[in-house]
A and B are shown apart, each in its own frame.
Chain A
Amino acid sequence: MEIWNRHFECMERDELRRVQGERLRETVERVYFNVPYYRHRMQEAGLGPENILSIEDIVKLPFTTKSDLRDTYPFGMFAVPMSEIVRLHASSGTTGKPTVVGYSRNDISTWSEVMARTLTCAGANRNDFIQIAYGYGLFTGGLGLHYGGEKIGASVIPVSGGNTNRQLQLMHDFGTTVLACTPSYALYLAEAIEESGINRDELRLKAGVFGAEPWTENMRREIEQKLKIKAIDIYGLSEVIGPGVASECTEQNGLHINEDHFFPEIIDPETLQVLPEGSLGELVFTTITKEGLPLIRYRTRDLTRLHYEKCSCGRTLVRMDKCLGRSDDMLIIRGVNLFPSQIETVLLEMSEIKPHYRIIVDRVNNLDTLELQVEVDEEFFQDKISQLQSLSGKLRDNLESATGLGIKVTLVEPKTIERSEGKAIRVIDNRKF
């Protein structure tokens, strides 16, 4: 199994902690002197750069949130002059202004490095053809994969998102071996391949790197079966760098975090205390090498666990579980916490139903209502009302036992739920708070 950067990816823990401490110290010094926001926050906490000497001291530092970035829109948190910034990306803001991130030349090179590790983790090398069906542009997905692909010397196909027919044509004619896109688009492409009549044996696909939205193990199995590839989960967020923060290796046993660049912690989102190793909590990152937009203890809102045992692939980098949801996409329905991924898991366990769904939340007479629209599988459809009713009844029962909530199930016609070419919109919340 190839490893891109054996020195850092397989480093002994003690040595890694020392490197992390040194890099943290430099980062804190940089932000203290170059970012007024951080200087004020540290002064408020009675801290100066001299108080941060090793990685253990990180717990003294204040947290950063997405709203801090919004408050300093667009460039207020940058730690280098704009003349040093060679690239700007922005993520679409769910509320108002976008989040802007800036990269120095060294940041771009760090990004290429961690993406080279990611692709190598997925088993790719210079002989591969990587079809990048993530969007290019302000979104970090396309260009992140692009630079990593070039760094490992693969043949990069920068097709960008959308235009499914062209995707299939290039995949077929160029002999794409690695597909990079969102998992929901991978499923969409799998369906499109089935419909197009292209014989799977004419394709050379062997692996896919999928991320940018949460997906379940069952969705992975479906992608792997339909496309006959190894589906690798990758993780990143533009504030930290974009894709390349963490990636599974071919063992598919957790995502290796590139912690020599991005130092992870798990905290309790309520008390903000660091939780013991192995606990489920909110993932927090401190970027310890970034120059353009260094972030101190940035709260991702993603919920996961960390595992520090060495992986059988040989890497010692800490592994995170697939994210179990975000602490902010959690729905509270009649006082019950609900993650859309819980619903997805139930759907994927039922072969009669397609995993395309939409959740509609509303409030009628002060009572939250939840409707789940799912597509009836064409192969399963027969003309008996009783059969369809027992199907929706079974689904309702399974949902209730999995979530503790009564959910209205509506069967809809196949292909009526929009397939997303970017992040799938699964929840429509019509409640007014």
Chain B
Amino acid sequence: MIIHQLSVFLENKSGRLTEVLDVLGRENIRITALSVADTTEFGILRIIVSDPEKAKTLLKEQMFTVNITEVISVMAPDEAKYYAKVLKILSDIDISVEYTYAFSTGKKSVIVLRCSNNEKAIEALKAHEMELLKASDLYRI
């Protein structure tokens, strides 16, 4: 249930994001989800891709700073209350969410979370019959 997300350190320079996408595009690596966290000085690109190890190697070759981060993902109906429910389940057992992002696939939404304790979060969400996604599920979206 743990998903390997790629995190890339980006300087605030125009063209850096394009370069990342070019590198991955050339090797036909698919991107399922993407989000950018930015500050005034730098940004961190977070992406879920079809082949994280290969993508990491390719980016490292191009001198990017890359790490693989473990996240979890939940599929829920496309309504705010379900997102809120997911977050409440976690906060009730004192799991903090370091960051989260989501995207819609039509009727349903895919929520990506990085929690202070991913294993415990998975257990708790399963206990509440939440639909957790595996990496292979995500890559098929």
Contacts and interface: CB of A to CB of B under 8 A. Distances in A.
Contacts of B42: 388, 410-411
B65 interface: yes
Contacts of A385: 37, 39, 44
B9 interface: yes
Counting contact residues on chain A (CB < 8 A from B), the size range is: 10 to 19
Given A382-B69, A383-B46, A414 B63 contact: yes
List the 4 shortest-distance A-B pairs measured between CB atoms, nearest first: A383-B7, A383-B69, A381-B65, A415-B63
Contact of A381 (B9, B37, B41, B99): B9
A384 B67 contact: no
Nearest to B43: A385
B64 interface: yes
A413 B63 contact: yes
15 contacts: A376-B65, A378-B65, A382-B67, A383-B44, A383-B67, A384-B99, A385-B37, A385-B39, A385-B44, A388-B9, A411-B9, A412-B11, A413-B65, A416-B11, A416-B63
B98 interface: yes
A389 B67 contact: no
Interface of A: 376, 378, 381-385, 388-389, 392, 410-416
A24 to B, nearest CB: 56
Interface in B8-40: 9-11, 37, 39
B9 A376 contact: yes
Contact of A382 (B7, B41, B63, B64): B7
Interface residues of B, number: 19
Given A376-B9, A384-B98, A413 B41 contact: no
A382 B9 CA distance: 9
A413 B16 CA distance: 11
Given A388-B42, A413-B11, A381 B67 contact: yes
Contacts of B99: 384
Contacts of A383: 5, 7, 44, 46, 67, 69, 114
B122 to A, nearest CB: 19
Contacts of B37: 385
Contact of A389 (B11, B39, B65): B39
B9 A410 contact: no
Given A383-B46, A384-B98, A416-B11, A411 B41 contact: yes
Nearest to A383: B7
Nearest to A415: B63
A410 B11 CA distance: 9
Nearest to B98: A384
Nearest to B46: A383
Interface in B88-125: 98-99, 114
Contacts of B114: 383
A388 B38 CA distance: 11
Q: Which of B37, B42, B67 neighbours the largest number of chain A CB atoms within 10 Å of its CB?
A: B42
Given A383-B114, A388-B42, A411-B41, 16 more contacts: A381-B7, A381-B67, A383-B5, A383-B44, A383-B67, A383-B69, A384-B98, A385-B37, A385-B39, A388-B44, A411-B11, A413-B9, A413-B63, A413-B65, A414-B63, A416-B63
A413 B69 CA distance: 18
A353 to B, nearest CB: 13
Contacts of A415: 63
Given A382-B7, A383-B46, A384-B98, A410 B41 contact: yes
Nearest to B10: A413
Contacts of B7: 381-383
Contacts of A410: 41-42
A399 to B, nearest CB: 16
A383 B35 CA distance: 12
A305 to B, nearest CB: 40
Given A381-B9, A383-B69, A413 B44 contact: no
B67 to A, nearest CB: 6
Interface string B64-75: 110101000000
